[in-house]
Amino acid sequence: MPAVLGEALRAARLRAGLQQTEVARLIDISRNAYSRLERGQMLPSVQTLFRLCTVVSATPNELLGFPSALPPGTSATAKDALQRRVRQLNGRQALALIQLLSGVG
């Protein structure tokens, strides 16, 4: 896992046009610690992983080497399950969901 993360992190950093020093500063770790991440010598904390994702414009799945595409049929199944769950919400819960979603995007 550390080697996969390191390779993906380096590729994402280069796509973002950033130097190791810049990324380290932006996520508040030392350049040496960041270098160790890219070389696959350590794994970041969850908090650091999310800061990395923001800085290099990548998802956690991308950096951890998980496929970004869902298996066939997964999307329809997930949509059906979500629709069933939404129908079960009471009025207050539905309003809270609408308010939450209005801030998305």
**For 51-65, what is the mean pLDDT?**
91
The pLDDT tens digits for 34-47 are 999 999 999 999 99
Separation of alpha carbons 43 and 71, rounded Å: 27
Write down the pTM of the prediction: 0.63
Tell me whether residue 15 is exposed, middle or buried, using C-beta atoms within 10 angstroms of its C-beta: 0 to 12, 13 to 18, 19 or more: exposed
72, pLDDT greater than 80: no
